[in-house]
Structure 1
Amino acid sequence: MNYFWKGLMLFGAISASILFFFFLFKLKDILNGFETVLNVLAPISYGLILAYILTPIYNKFEKRIEPFFIKSFSISKGKALAKAVSTFITLLLMIAVLASFFWLVFPQLYKSILGIIDLIPNSINKVSVWVDDLFKNNPQAIQTFSAYYEEATKYLEQWLDTSFVSNIQSFVSNVSIGVFKVLSFLKNFLIGMIVAVYVLNCKTKFATQAKKLIYSIFNQKLGSAVINEIRFVHQVFGGFIIGKLIDSFIIGIICYVCLALMNMPYSMLISVIIGVTNIIPFFGPFIGAIPSFFLLLLVSPMQSLYFLIFIFILQQFDGNILGPKILGDSTGLSSFWVLFSILFFGGLMGFFGMIIGVPFFAVAYHLISQAINNALKKKNLSTETEDYKNIP
């Protein structure tokens, strides 16, 4: 019997090693497979995300409206009407916010983009004048520049002869793919709104069914522990993501107001860039500030310098005052693990991974910490990290 268990453990270890190396070498194919499944389930995913974000607003309306309907009708009918009205008001509020955003922001963005396009010829002329002034009294520089100019001209002629047509075809193809993706997103988003309606109305039923399933699989003690962990996941993800969205929205508004008061060009465009990239922890402010700085540099070097000073002050305000007020210590991670999670999940899933990486890693970190602490308790050892500091 002893040999049987040893053989079984050896077989399990070999199988686990084979699976590990299979996943390691086939990770790209596995991720592509997941991507295909996620594309198919995109409307459901959008609906679940929308419902999750809108749930706090829905709950507030439902609590206010439900007593009124229960008094006016029977309990069951009153609750059903309260759910329907709360869902309608929540979706109407979301549509109103999105419509207001597009109505206010898009015209400004359009003007900013047109302004940038108009600015390019003027910037090129400035560079040409600067180059002429530089080479006017410098024969050696003219000779060096002429050699580079001839080489660049030959390369351009070769590119026009060989690659220009294929690049145009590639550009048209990319534009077509982009248009298709936008239309696909709009379709999935609209279907997702319908899914969100069902999820908001049935979320209590879904939660009850999930509890029933958990207790059917685990005993009561373990089932309660699983439910507590799910609540922790909800607390971390809900607190971080919704808090970060609110924080970034406020930062975007503050940025626009301050830039408008400073008479900065492209204030709406820059504020949208700063607000959107601020969702990404740690790297977000830099990702948004760098292109905005170069955009202002085309117009006025002095204004671009003022912008950098303003962004530094704004991020200090966000990091030390606004962010902690809204987010608190929602993840419980140190700065190193925040950086690690952003780099790791950002590398795996891109922009989306940089956003969800921190709360996802926070949950994993919490589960591993609990497992370690439980193992230490069974050995009657301390669970405090400081107690292991001076052990040689």
Structure 2
Amino acid sequence: MLKRYKNELKIGIMLLVLGGIIYFILLIKKVLLPFVFGTFLAYLFNPLITFLRKRNISRITALYILILVVLILFISISIFILPIFIRELEELTVTLPKYVNSLEKYVEYVNREYRRIHLPEVIKEVIDQALAKLENFILNFIENLTTSVINSLTYIVSLFISPIITYYILKDYEEIQSSFLNIVPKKYRKPVLKSGREISKIFVGFLRGQIWVSIIVGVFSTLGLMLFKVKFYLLLGILAGITNMIPYFGPVIGAIPAVMIAFLSSPVKAFGVIILFSLIQQVESSIIGPKIFSNRVGLHPLTIIFVLLAGADIFDGWGLIFAVPVAGSLKVIFKIFIEQIISIKGLSGQE
């Protein structure tokens, strides 16, 4: 009897500790972000370090080779892409209010023109409501997108220390793994190792694949928009690539600003941009597959939609990108946690 209550108390304490950890994480989310991002980069680059180590190159030498490659890429981007990016960003901050004003005037123009046509009052009322909703949607979308970008930029400042964290994790990768396992009691090491492998497969596999696909989408979007002579083609292409990492909603979120800016230039150009993004999405879908997210992370589509909304509410734009793999990882931890509870109760029942 006493043994059973002892096991139930142990389960209760475990649940309280888990709840406390989650609450603490939410409190210090901005502080944790560079560490999370740095750890992710370490997981992302570690296979390259392992590849070089198999060729009899020491870990520290392999790490310096990786740093050199990353620096070359960073310098190349800074020379060829960064000036265009900064120029477009400065121009956008100046012209964005003008674009909003133009959209409002266009909606007013459409409203005036259709009133000249003799339509039944019921139809006019429906059109009025539709136009009002469209105007509100456009204005809210621009406002929310701007707010989300600004909030994400505040996180980017803290991410500058992420490469330092990545360096030390990669440098002492094996020692960190050993130290972590030594902290875990022997009887829990097997489930911890199991969960670690599954989380690594879900988190790193998902994001690594998404990063490559997003780069491809971003490049093709930028080139396509440049061919259509859409203003801010680089900014819009980068946005399309980043938002493509968001399951289901990402391609639409990335396409809307490009279509709106193209529309202000020419409705025909906007139609061409819609076709461009549709073609890119078709190619992307044929590479990844419509159910890749559910299959890779083991989550139902409804669960994915819920965690995306929750992630956006808690962590803004970054939450949309990391919500799905984090939810998949938490599912693995929760599953193993439940297995441990069942095993404790099983032992209690046997006694």
| TM-score for the superposition, normalised by structure 1 | 0.62
1:152-231 aligned within 5 A: 186=157, 188-214=158-184, 217-219=185-187, 222-231=188-197
Out of 262, 265, 268, the position equivalent to 1:296 is: 262
* Aligned positions of 1:129-144 closer than 5 A: none
Mean Cα deviation higher: 203-212 or 322-331: 322-331
Q: Which amino acid aligns with 1:63?
A: K
Residues 238-282 of structure 1: CA distance to partner in whole angstroms, max 9, x if unpaired? 101121111111110121223333444432221111011112122
Deviations, residues 151-194 of structure 1 (Å, cap 9, x unaligned)? xxxxxxxxxxxxxxxxxxxxxxxxxxx89x86x955x5454333
* Letter of the 1:231 counterpart: R
Would you say 1:343 and 2:283 are equivalent positions? no
Cα deviation, 1:79-134, whole Å, max 9, x if unaligned, reads: xxx2222111112222222333343333323443566546949x859959x96xx6
TM-score normalized with structure 2 length: 0.68
- Percent identical pairs in the alignment equals 23
Q: Does 1:256 find its partner at 2:222?
A: yes
Residues 1-392 of structure 1: pairs in structure 2 closer than 5 A: 34=25, 37-40=28-31, 44-66=35-57, 82-113=58-89, 117=94, 120=98, 127=105, 186=157, 188-214=158-184, 217-219=185-187, 222-322=188-288, 329-366=295-332, 371=338
Cα distance, 1:307 vs structure 2: 1.0
What SS class does the counterpart of residue 247 from structure 2 fall into? Answer: coil
Q: Distance in 1 between matches of 2:215 and 2:105?
A: 37
- Aligned mates of 1:290, 1:253 — CA distance in 2: 17
Unaligned runs of at least 5 residues, structure 2: 117-149, 347-351
In structure 2, the CA distance between the partners of 1:92 and 1:301, relative to structure 1 (3 Å rule), is same
Describe the superposition over 1:309-338 as per-residue Cα deviations: whole angstroms up to 9, x where unpaired.
Answer: 221221222123246899894212232222
Q: How far apart are residue 364 of structure 1 and its match?
A: 3.5
Q: Distance in 2 between matches of 1:232 and 1:12?
A: 26
Aligned residues of 2:297 and 2:325 also touching (Cα < 8 A): yes
State which drifts further: 201-210 or 261-270. Answer: 261-270
Are 2:46 and 2:170, in contact at CA under 8 Å, matched by a contact in 1? yes
1:389 aligns with none
What letter matches 2:226 in structure 1? A
Amino acid at match of 1:309: I
Instruction: Give, in whole Å, the separation in 2 of the partners of 1:306 and 1:251.
Output: 17
**Cα distance, 1:301–1:210 mapped onto 2, change above 3 Å:** same
What is the aligned length?
302
Over 3 Å counting, the alpha-carbon distance change for 1:295 and 1:211 in structure 2 is: same
* CA distance in 1: counterparts of 2:223 and 2:156, whole angstroms: 31
Structure 1 residues 303 and 213: CA distance shift in structure 2, 3 A: same
What SS class does the counterpart of residue 64 from structure 1 fall into?
A: coil
Q: Over aligned residue pairs, what C-alpha RMSD do you find?
A: 4.5
Flag structure 1 segments of 5+ consecutive residues without an equivalent. 67-81, 139-177, 380-392
CA separation of 1:115 and 1:193: change in aligned 2, threshold 3 A = closer
Say if 1:60 and 1:302 are closer, same or farther in 2 by CA, change over 3 A. Answer: same
Distance (whole Å) between structure 2 residues aligned to residue 99 and residue 88 of structure 1: 16
Point out the more displaced range, 55-64 or 321-330.
321-330
Shift of 1:203: 0.4
The 3-state SS of whatever aligns with 2:54 is: helix
Instruction: Give how far 1:290 is off.
Output: 1.5
CA distance in structure 2 between the partners assigned to 1:239 and 1:353 by the alignment? 18
- Cα distance 1:39–1:341, how it changes in 2: closer, same or farther (>3 A)? closer
Residue 288 of structure 1 aligns with an amino acid whose one-letter code is G
